[in-house]
Amino acid sequence: MQRIRIRYAKRGPLRFTSHRDFARAFERAVRRAGVPIAFSQGFTPHPKISYASAAPTGVASEAEYLEIGLQATADPVAVRASLDAALSPGLDVVEAVEARPGTSLADRIDASAWRIELPGVKPDTLGQAVAAFTAAGEVLVERLTKQGRRTFDTRGAVAAISVISESAAPSEVTGIPCAILDLVVRQVTPSVRPDDVLAGLRVVADLEPPVPPRATRLAQGTLTAQGAIVDPLEADRDETPIGER
């Protein structure tokens, strides 16, 4: 069975697509595109599609990943083009590569890079909140999870956090200040999401954006000792296992 790994994006209004809705839309796109998808065995066969660390609903992303199994060999470039054409604009298939032997897609992802726009917040104000967050040994927040209400540390999951400068207003924000936060978060249990980090900034510095922030996942992958994130598809492109880099 051929395995193809895919990077896709959730952009614009389609960032509000839930993971379940995307999964349904993707299965329809597979059928429309005529991709020779393989199915599981048993009384209720399911298409062989596996997802890796999907972004929360309402969050945009340039780096979502999934893997499909095919019952016949296909050209990954053609698969990408046909699936992208079959999905709505805003759910965009960016890249497809043939999976090579080695680690699974999920095992190549242990961190995410985020950019969060905070309209109505001045960069200096955000900078002070980030300094307080960075200086803290622990920042506890509370969130309702599937296992009930949980209290967990957001500070320990954050590998890097900084305020960046932009020469142009981001995402069509005009007329008001808009601070921008760059963030690298490790995968931990329970997961720490961008809104959890913002809750942590509220805990340490009483930062309360006047309008909802806008988060975009820029990258996912393996976090190196130097703080870089290795694209999980890189090893499939050049046949060099991540562990040998």
* pLDDT tens column, 54-78: 999 999 999 999 999 999 999 999 9
Q: Both 65 and 128 in a single domain? A: no
Q: State the total domains in the chain.
A: 2
Tell me: do 172 and 136 sit in the same domain: yes
Domain harbouring 129, CATH code: 3.30.70
Q: What is the pLDDT of residue 12?
A: 94
Same domain, 153 and 206: yes
Provide the whole-model pTM: 0.89
Token pair listed for 161 = 């956090």
Q: Has residue 42 been placed in a domain?
A: yes
CA distance 205 to 227: 26
Residues 90 and 123 in one domain: no
Domain that holds residue 175: 108-229
Indicate the range of 96-105, 139-148, 169-178, 198-207 predicted with least confidence.
Answer: 169-178
In terms of domains, do 43 and 142 share one? no
Confirm whether 68 is domain-assigned. yes
Mapping DSSP onto H, E and C, the string for the chain reads CEEEEEEEEECHHHHHCCHHHHHHHHHHHHHHHCCCECECCCCCCCECEEEECCCCCCCEEEEEEEEEEECCCCCHHHHHHHHHHHCCCCEEEEEEEECCCCCCCHHHCCEEEEEEEEECCCHHHHHHHHHHHHHCCCCEEEEEECCEEEEEECHHHEEEEEEECCCCCHHHCCCCCEEEEEEEEECCCCCCCHHHHHHHHHHHHCCCCCCCCEEEEEEEEEECCCCCEECCCHHHHHCCCHHHC
Identify the CATH number of the domain in which residue 44 sits: 3.30.70.580
Same domain for 95 and 203, yes or no, is: no
Same domain, 138 and 221: yes
Residues 140 and 214 in one domain: yes
pLDDT higher than threshold 70 for residue 94: yes
245 within domain boundaries: no
In tens, the pLDDT along 182-223 reads 999 999 988 899 999 999 999 999 999 999 999 999 999 999
**Tens-digit pLDDT profile for residues 222-243:** 999 999 999 999 999 865 444 4
